[in-house]
Amino acid sequence: MFHGSITALITPFKNGEIDWNAFENLVEWQIEKGTHALVPCGTTGESPTLSHDEHMAIVKRTADVVKGRIPVIAGSGSNSTREAIKLTSYAKNAGANAALIVTPYYNKPTQAGLYEHFRAIHDEVDIPIIIYNIPGRCVVDMSIETMARLAKLPNIVGVKDATGDLTRPLYTRNIIGEDFCQLSGDDATTAAFLAQGGVGSISVVSNIAPEECANMHNAWVEGDRETFEELRDKLALLARDLFCESNPAPAKYAASLLGICSDEVRRPLLRASDDARTKVEAALDFAGIAYG
């Protein structure tokens, strides 16, 4: 259903507000360069610091600009089940094709609580749901067994796996089956994730290198190992160094170098430090991405 290079969109800011012109240009550029789907309002979009009105406006603007050309997978999770239902319902009505819903953070629910959270959203909103499992940010880790229970519900279609455990996609595929859409949530492990049964990646790097990321996934599907390995290696430093400080500060610095948007982030995040900037510039050079 969903596959390939899926960009977790940054949210451009200008003087504290959303830079809508830059955002729309970014969406169009992503489509032009072959990105397979877009995720507005994920972690990379600084969703924790967006107001509800901003969050909903970004989802709608994304769907309006895309106009059905590629799928829109709206970030609509929350640690409040009621809030997640509200955001997911809005995303569906705004034209999103699916919802990316993070495991509840801070609350530390049990596996039974995780199941009930996702089941409640599933039952209230008729839209494909991708589970976002990221223990490093949410503390809780959804087990494969809980995911298998959820996968029996018709609209629970896949997972964004940011556990960093490269045995997970293989075990998940064996337990749940091939039709369950497994997407990597870590750029650095994308290649290995594909080899273990994944079908794509929700990527930060593709904000900066959309064509290269899309072509890498296309090469994998086409069995073009030489091109796949060449692009994998070119993107390796970006996959590492766009995370040298809190995401998306390094990515936004790279975006500013490419003229996409400013490097402005919202507190408590800060702009990339001088050391981080040096690393990002070196990673861009290594990938052969020109900037001025």
Supply the residues annotated as catalytic: 132, 160
DSSP letter string over 103-116?
Answer: PPPSS---HHHHHH
Amino acid at 128: P
Contact present, 125 and 92 (Cβ < 8 Å): yes
Contact present, 207 and 159 (Cβ < 8 Å): no
- Quickly tell me which residue has 């064996």 as its tokens: 174
Contact present, 184 and 161 (Cβ < 8 Å): yes
Neighbours of 273 (CB within 10 A): 14
Q: Helices (H) and strands (E) in the chain — how many of each?
A: 13, 10
